[in-house]
Chain A
Amino acid sequence: MGISVIGAGLAAIGAGLGIGLIGGKAMEAIARQPEAQGKIQSSALILAALIEAVALFAIVVSLIK
């Protein structure tokens, strides 16, 4: 139980970092080029979803005893 909780926490930290980076860069890009907002937004969402998938893998693995 203890170790799996640490694993889940680490996965959350990693995913948070990744999604934060994507979000930050997307914001900068939108600020620089507001007309490209739609495209940037949808690709940022897809990238966040991909990171989320990796994080969820980690969490699922950490839950398996």
Chain B
Amino acid sequence: MKRFILSILTLLFTVNLALASGGEKHSEEFNPTETAMHHVKDSHQFDIWGHDLTIHLPIILWTENGLVTFSSKEFHGDDSGEVIVEKNGMKFTKFHEKIYYANSKKNDQGDYITESAKIVHLDDQHHPINKKPWDFSITKNVFSMWLSLILLLVVAISAGRFYKTSKYKGVPKGAAKVIEPLVVFVRDDIAIPNIGEKKYKKYMPYLLTVFFFVWLNNVMGLIPFFPFGANLTGNIAVTCTLAVFTFIITTFSGNKNYWKHIFWAPGVPVPMKIFLAPIELIGMFTKPFSLMVRLFANITAGHIIILSLVSLIFVFKSYLVAPASIIAVVFISVIEILVTALQAYIFTTLSALYFGMATEEHHEEH
């Protein structure tokens, strides 16, 4: 166990160093904010070792003239809208990891971000006003999500199959050994206390899926080398999707009692009932919204802290800062390992709590 922890720490240590040395090369004036934001964002390519070793992911676009596919290699690692790729008679350029239609002339600002003959420049806040094609590309996040799905399926199916075989004699083996305590934990400590003995079974598949998906992806986001390191749970679109699932399940499993509590709270004077109804109605939406923002903000904040601490070395331009910086990075990384589990636990617990509220039976007037 001691050796295991030690090896994980060493791994984090070396990889963070490697990550730091990648950032050094392509910047005369080092900008920590830009570096951190770049590493936190979704991307069309995997930078494994600076820009020397890159894995290019496919770009799939739905344009005005139909489907267009090409490799992100054709942008030559450019992300500032300088390189133009021509396919199917249309021109594309990549700016801050988003793909835009482009023409080949520079505009007033010296940017290539222009849309043919309609809009000619970036707006005041330096946001491109170009049209975008529908982007269905397999980005870093999509790749990471598929990887986690495959991992989860392999582990869960092999664990599930174990219980059907004759080998099962009350003691789990193999993948089941790892999965069983976690499943029992989700059932006994999350589902049953929050939803209740009678109804929890219906919600177990969803709770388990969310728990394992969030946890695995939190952990995978923390491992900073290929094929991991995509900030999936720190992407607001992903957390939004998960929160929408919770919202849909809560709303559709809401019984009479639940809706009565929202629109006509029992045991409250009538003027107060009218006053409470809109607040309760807003509450329906703020609950999943807080689920979404919590997971997104926690994971993104963790990543940004680690990256900023590594950036300190380049901000001070001195190797002497490195030991302090690395000790701090290891410290935060260890805390982040705790946060990965905690956020998965909280997401699942609160989902279960909301399901419990929705299915609670009428007991007494209060």
Contact = CB atoms under 8 A, between A and B. Distances in A.
Interface of A: 38, 42, 45-46, 49-50, 52-53, 56-57, 59-60
B293 A53 contact: yes
A45 B346 contact: yes
Interface in B275-308: 290, 293-294, 297
A42 B345 CA distance: 10
Nearest to B350: A49
B297 A59 contact: yes
B293 A49 contact: no
B353 A46 contact: yes
A56 B349 CA distance: 18
B293 A46 contact: no
Given A42-B189, A45-B345, A57 B350 contact: no
Which bracket fits the contact residues of B? 10 to 19
A57 B293 CA distance: 8
A-B pairs with the 5 shortest C-beta distances? Answer: A53-B290, A49-B346, A56-B293, A56-B297, A53-B294
Interface of B: 189, 193, 290, 293-294, 297, 342, 345-346, 349-350, 353
A37 B293 CA distance: 29
Contacts of A50: 290
30 contacts: A38-B189, A42-B189, A42-B193, A42-B349, A45-B342, A45-B345, A45-B346, A45-B349, A46-B346, A46-B349, A46-B350, A46-B353, A49-B294, A49-B346, A49-B349, A49-B350, A50-B290, A52-B294, A53-B290, A53-B293, A53-B294, A56-B290, A56-B293, A56-B294, A56-B297, A57-B290, A57-B293, A59-B297, A60-B293, A60-B297
